[in-house]
Amino acid sequence: MTGVRRTANRSTGADLMKYGGRIAAVSRSGAPDPFADLIVLRLRMNGVNGSTTFTDSSSSALTMTAGGNAQISTTQSKEGGSSGYFNNSSGTFLTASSSVSFSGSYTAEAWAYPTTLGTCGILSGRGYSNGVVMRINGSGQLQFLDTGLTTYTATGGALTADVWHHVAITRDASNQVSAWLNGSKVGDLVVSSGTHSFRQVAYAGSGGEEWAGYLDLVRLTAGCRYSSAFTPLSSY
């Protein structure tokens, strides 16, 4: 390709593509990621079985503290041979060293494998300034809680137990918050402006709402990645 330089990132093995001075990571599918510079949290959940070390491989490099029984597991994985395992017990979730906050468009996403269905959190800022929540309910439907903790439910589809699902919440340039399941939009939930923040993984910010099952490829991006149906990447 004329005017495109491809380089290797020695520290991660990632392939990088440079466009006129701007470096963009090439996804493992081979396509450049136009949002590469905007990734502010990325948890690939890689590690040895039973490890309590969770690494943020984004440029933010946030420190993740594992609480309760949160650990790396090789029993299930979407990518890399391991995932994060959370057994729905009290305090079993991850907390970042600081909140990730968005004043504009963003995407919150993960691969989720619930072992049981219940009110379980995937990402949360509840209890922190401008915190919002991404969770499922007992029917497996995605829910979004705004900064006032008003709950909005995506009724267009639902997760099932013991299956990997790609889940996402987006906010676009018009402040429309939408929910996505396996690449399909399952609800335009609410128009919500102002700052939205996340800080915890596998939790909804309230006792008893810890995740039950596995999570992989948790990612926060300061941009709206999805506006129409898409095929979720199984590695990023």
Q: For the segment 165-174, what is each residue's pLDDT rounded down to a tens digit?
A: 999 999 999 9
Residue 31's pLDDT band, with cuts at 50, 70 and 90, is confident
pTM for this structure? Answer: 0.88
Q: Is residue 134 part of a domain?
A: yes
Please report, rounded to a whole number, the percentage of residues in the chain having pLDDT higher than 70.
87
Q: Which domain holds residue 68?
A: 35-221
- Shared domain for 89 and 142, answered yes or no, is yes
Looking at every residue in the chain, the average pLDDT score rounds to 89
Using only C-alpha atoms, the chain has a radius of gyration, in whole angstroms, of: 17
Asked, for residue 216, whether it belongs to a domain, the answer is yes
Whether residue 94 sits in one domain with residue 13 = no
Residues 84 and 197 in one domain: yes
Residue 7 or residue 175, greater confidence: 175
> Does residue 230 lie within any of the structural domains?
no
- Cβ partners under 8 Å of residue 34, min gap 6: 24
Query: Would you say residue 236 lies in a domain?
Result: no
pLDDT score recorded for residue 17 = 31
* CATH number for the domain that contains residue 50: 2.60.120.200
pLDDT tens digit sequence for 104-120 = 999 999 999 999 999 99
The helix/strand count (H/E) of the chain reads as 0, 18
Q: Are 28 and 38 contacting, i.e. CB atoms less than 8 angstroms apart? A: no
Residue 13 sits in the same domain as residue 78? no
Considering the domain architecture, whether residues 101 and 13 belong to the same structural domain is answered as no
Q: What is the pLDDT of residue 30?
A: 62
Number of domains observed in the structure of the chain:
2
Structural domain includes residue 185: yes
Question: Are residues 184 and 123 part of one domain?
Answer: yes
61-96 confidence digits (pLDDT tens):
999 999 999 999 999 999 999 999 999 999 999 999
